[in-house]
Amino acid sequence: MTRILVTNDDGVRSPGLAALTAALEPLGEVTVVAPLRETSAIGHALTLHRPLRLERLGDRRFALDGTPSDCVNIAVVSVLKGLPQLVMSGINLGLNLGDDLTYSGTVSAALEGALLGVPSIAVSAHRSGPEWDFHGAARAAATLAEAVLKGGLPPRTLLNVNVPAGEPKGLRVTVQGRRNHVTSVEERIDPRGRAYFWIDVAQDHWEPDARSDYQAVRDGFVSVTPLHPDLTAHAALAAIEELSLGTTGEVR
Ligand code: MN
């Protein structure tokens, strides 16, 4: 029996989660363990300082009052009692592109799956109108899930999938785009005279790159970026050795 674990960061009641689950049902036994509340932008966080509670919502449907990475771990150890063949995360309500990935709970859940040795895919969708339409994203998710179940992924590799609104023109394998990071912080005053802050993502300025995830979605294609957990700047190793180490390899 092919076992597929589904989670997300928008919370167990998200319509994106329902769309993904429905799309994957024909491919195997789908188990959902998703955050009870929305945890968008929580990154790869684990909950270490309070107990976690798992609530059974139905047949193979669970809500955990924790993070997406908590969900993957609790699912493997306490719900599935073993590794699934595939971890799917999403469908996120909004794109997860380029430099923003490390904030993403959606991508982090797939990263957690990859670290556990399970082929893992994060799926995020763009909305163009007032209503969410998950048709394109659900179909892309099912197609890629089927391909990965059949052909596998290289070790320690996950897929970050972003789907444009409407009917995708096709699929592009992409690299992470780069944006010139601008964060807007709005400062306001509360009724007691104290300052409070709202962090918001300001208008993105993407560096032009024909191979990027951003460009693919912008051109109307499903973007598929292979990622790995290794954040080492391999190209910088020589420069850092030059900077900080003597010829003996000891820190000066
Ligand atoms: Mn989200």
Q: What is the pLDDT of residues 164-180, one digit of tens each?
A: 999 999 999 999 999 87
Question: 94-112 pLDDT, tens per residue?
Answer: 999 999 999 999 999 999 9
- Tell me the sheet residues that pair with 92: 124
- Going through 105-217 in order, the beta strands assigned E by DSSP cover 120-125, 158-163, 171-173, 179-180, 183-189, 195-201, 205-206
Cα(17) to centroid(ligand 1), Å: 10
- Model confidence at 133, pLDDT cuts 50, 70, 90, reads very high
In a domain, 173, yes or no: yes
In a domain, 23, yes or no: yes
In a domain, 185, yes or no: no
Q: Alpha helices, DSSP H only, in the chain?
A: 15-24, 68-74, 105-115, 135-151, 213-218, 237-244
Structure-model confidence comparison of residues 245 and 73, the more confident one: 73
- pTM to 2 decimal places: 0.94
In a domain, 118, yes or no: yes
Cα(92) to centroid(ligand 1), Å: 5
Classify strands 171-173 and 222-227 as parallel, antiparallel or unpaired: parallel
In a domain, 189, yes or no: no
In a domain, 196, yes or no: no
pLDDT surpasses 80 at 244: no
In a domain, 101, yes or no: yes
Cα(173) to centroid(ligand 1), Å: 22
- Domain around 215: 3-177+207-244
Residues 141/39, Cβ–Cβ less than 8 Å: no
Cα(40) to centroid(ligand 1), Å: 4
Specify the DSSP element, H or E, that contains 242. helix 237-244
Angle at 168 (CA atoms; ends 166, 174), nearest 5 degrees: 130
Cα(105) to centroid(ligand 1), Å: 7
Question: 152-164 pLDDT, tens per residue?
Answer: 999 999 999 999 9
pLDDT, position 180: 79
- Model confidence at 72, pLDDT cuts 50, 70, 90, reads very high
Tell me the one-letter amino acid at 150. Answer: K
In a domain, 186, yes or no: no
Cα(91) to centroid(ligand 1), Å: 8
Cα(131) to centroid(ligand 1), Å: 16
CATH of the domain at 102: 3.40.1210.10
> Which percentage of the chain shows pLDDT scores above 70?
96
Question: How many domains is the chain built from?
Answer: 1
